[in-house]
């Protein structure tokens, strides 16, 4: 039998392909965050309090599919005492 609602698999696959450049960075940020959270024994709720956002937003970030602003990345760096972006930019 055919399901009542069509699968969104194809749409999601196209979206992932179109956004793969920044998604890779988002996944790397999520992995670094998870590692540091594990090192500190930090919950999503506790991190959300440090960041001044909701636990639901932290959960979205940790899924590695959130297009993060530089401001948010800086807040994550401060909250977890980690470096995600190099602070040295070379002017070309």
Determine the average pLDDT of the residues in 26-41: 97
CA distance 36 to 84: 12
CB atoms within 10 A of CB 29: 22
CA distance 74 to 71: 5
For the chain, what is the mean pLDDT?
Answer: 92
- Whether 43 has a pLDDT exceeding 80, the answer reads yes
Determine the average pLDDT of the residues in 23-29: 95
Task: Show the tokens assigned to 58.
Answer: 């932290």
CA distance 75 to 58: 12
What is the number of alpha carbons within 13 Å of residue 86 lying toward its C-beta?
A: 3
Task: Show the tokens assigned to 24.
Answer: 């890779």
- Whether 3 has a pLDDT exceeding 70, the answer reads no
Can you give the pLDDT at residue 5? 67
Assess contact for 76 and 30: CB atoms under 8 A: no
Which segments within 1-92 are labelled E, that is strand? none
């Amino acid at each position: 039998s055919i399901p009542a609602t069509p699968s969104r698999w194809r749409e999601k696959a196209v979206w992932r392909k179109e956004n793969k450049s920044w998604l890779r960075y988002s996944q790397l940020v999520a992995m670094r965050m998870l590692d540091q959270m594990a090192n500190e024994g930090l919950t999503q709720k506790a991190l959300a309090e440090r960041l001044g956002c909701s636990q639901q937003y932290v959960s979205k970030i940790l899924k590695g599919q959130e297009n993060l602003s530089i401001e948010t990345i800086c807040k994550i760096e401060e909250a977890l005492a980690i470096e995600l972006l190099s602070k040295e930019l070379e002017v070309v």
